[in-house]
Structure 1
Amino acid sequence: AGKGYLTYQRKGRVSVYHPLITKDAYFEQTAVDYSKIWGKGVLKRMAAALIKENELSKNDIQDLKDYLDELDSMGH
């Protein structure tokens, strides 16, 4: 169905849907798709909006910083 994220099985008049990929894989692909559609600055703007609306905790922000530092140390 759609982009290959779900499959379904008909059971009588009901369709039962099942994921084909993990939640993490879905989020990774969605982030890449948004970046392609809206441009490279979209992730920065998205993070800023989440921080502004208090959707990211201090721990979330620290985790993000740590992850970015890790990527930087790997040469990304």
Structure 2
Amino acid sequence: MPPKRPQLNGAVERCNGAWRYEFYAVHDLPHQIDRLQPFVDAFAHRYNHHRPHDALDGKTPAEYLSAFSSGTPQSSHMS
């Protein structure tokens, strides 16, 4: 993938935007990594297990992924 072409990698750019606007811009974060890690872990858990995603038809990433491990065929809603 060519550098500086975010339109070619929409899913990653959307995730980066969520972290930027829902995590970094909202929280007063500590500067020490050992104090920051619990904030990162909590947001990653919320993002993957509790936050519905429109591109996944309102499912969380964990719910969407569990369909693959259960053997239930799913059609992709990502474009």
Q: TM-score, length-normalised on structure 2? A: 0.28
Larger Rg: 1
Q: TM-score, length-normalised on structure 1? A: 0.29
- Bigger strand share: 1
